[in-house]
Amino acid sequence: MTPRRGGSVGAVKAVELRITGTVQGVGYRWACEHEAARLGVVGWVRNEVDGSVSAHAEGDEDAVDALVDWCRRGPAAASVAGVEVTSGSVEGGSGFRTVA
């Protein structure tokens, strides 16, 4: 168990995401990074050569679930066709960033 914001104890959840659709060139990574920071989720997001976006997210279970829900919508300019979610390993990051 890891302390949540505010000092209470909650479960840590980690997921891997693959987002497809019109998700590159529309500010998806930037918006995802900002939404993750707002939710207190750590991890990373990156563009893939096939036109999809991949992400790793970890943190409080409710916050990670909220980020996954946001990923299904994305920013206004995106058109998300699908989001594959698989269980991930906790990496213990300290923030959420865009990676190459």
Catalytic residues: 29, 47
3-class DSSP string for 14-65: EEEEEEEEECCCCCHHHHHHHHHHHHCCEEEEEECCCCCEEEEEEEEHHHHH
The three-class DSSP label of residue 66 is helix
